[in-house]
Amino acid sequence: MMMKAAIYNDYGPPEVVHIGEVVKPVPAPNEVLIKIVASTISAGDWRARSLEMPTGFGLIGRLIFGVFRPRNKVLGSELSGIVEAIGSDVTQFSIGDAVIGYPENGCHAQFRTMPEDGAIIRKPESLTFEQAAGLFFGGITALDFLLNFGKITSGETVLINGASGAVGSACVQLAKHFGAEVTGVSSAKNHDLVRSLGADFVIDYADEDFTLGNKTYDIVVDCVGNAPWAKSKHVLNETGRLLLVAGSLGDMLKASFVSKKHGKKLVSGVSMGNRDKLLALMEIVESGAFRPVIDRVFSLENIVEAHAYVDRGHKCGSVVINIAL
């Protein structure tokens, strides 16, 4: 049996992606087969397709995604859908369950298999399939950086650079949830959105470079890649942390050195999803403190147009691909 998928065989512009047919997966004994309803095109998909990597990560990008050609031909890190079939050993899911998953690739297709103990949980009824598909790339990254890497505590001051993107919009909401005072940096056209997510203050990056200001913060989160340690350390409090969601290899390599030398800390790393983190995020969703921001919805047939839209670098939250449209 075959299924439709968005396939890319070479790195490059949006046009390297085309709709084709691939073999429909069959679940192993411990796997569920998911009929995908929606997925997203994330900044991670943009990097994996274009090989545009943060400074210093060019070779590492090829090692991760495939040296000469992409290793995984189907992009899409997150999904929402319905369990269509289950392997003989599966006990936690049944056919017909609405689920959300974060397998990190292969979601721009009609079907995907996942191990039942992988990064997959039931979809909350409070979210549509399109909303639910946009939860994890931004939400898990924000949770990892703020809580697990940044050790955020109530009452701290937090600045989010890139506050309207998928990761930034999640950071604003989660930082508020953890009791912080939040400043969001975005273009002026997105200030209403960033305020509506809970930001106490907003800065227009076209008007003001926050790294040159007098105000200091307990945490600065850079979701853009233009606020490295050399610029941002001046706006950290004495025990402040700079969390580089998008940082250079140079800053990543010097993180432990500068963190030992200063009271201030530089934290850089890679967020990874697992079921416990998905469930932790879901508790926050169900408390009403976090909603994924959805920018636009495209059909699978219009995936090249959707990639081109993401490539502009100014999406608000997530760009969703509705596979069922």
Contacts with ligand NAP by CB under 6 A lie at: 42-44, 47, 138, 141, 161-162, 164-168, 185-187, 190, 205, 223-226, 245-246, 270-271, 313-316
Smallest CA-to-CA distance from 111 within 15, 103, 30 is with 103
DSSP state of 124: P
Q: How far is the CB of 240 from ligand NAP (least distance, A)?
A: 19
Complex with ligand NAP: residue 52 or 97, whichever CB lies closer: 52
C-alpha separations of 246 from 150, 182, 227, 251, 269 in Å: 15, 19, 9, 10, 9
* Amino acid, single-letter form, for residue 95: I
- Cα separation, 122 vs 82, whole angstroms: 10
Write the DSSP assignment of 128-176 as a string of letters.
Answer: -HHHHHTSHHHHHHHHIIIIIIT---TT-EEEEETTTBHHHHHHHHHHH
Q: How far is the CB of 130 from ligand NAP (least distance, A)?
A: 16
Q: How far is the CB of 233 from ligand NAP (least distance, A)?
A: 18
Q: How far is the CB of 74 from ligand NAP (least distance, A)?
A: 19
Q: How far is the CB of 32 from ligand NAP (least distance, A)?
A: 25
Complex with ligand NAP: residue 3 or 258, whichever CB lies closer: 258
Complex with ligand NAP: residue 23 or 270, whichever CB lies closer: 270
Write the DSSP assignment of 179-222 as a string of letters.
Answer: T-EEEEEE-GGGHHHHHHTT-SEEEETTT--GGGSS--EEEEEE
Complex with ligand NAP: residue 271 or 322, whichever CB lies closer: 271
Q: How far is the CB of 232 from ligand NAP (least distance, A)?
A: 13
- Cα separation, 139 vs 136, whole angstroms: 5
Residue nearest to ligand NAP (CB): 165
Complex with ligand NAP: residue 105 or 190, whichever CB lies closer: 190
Complex with ligand NAP: residue 167 or 320, whichever CB lies closer: 167
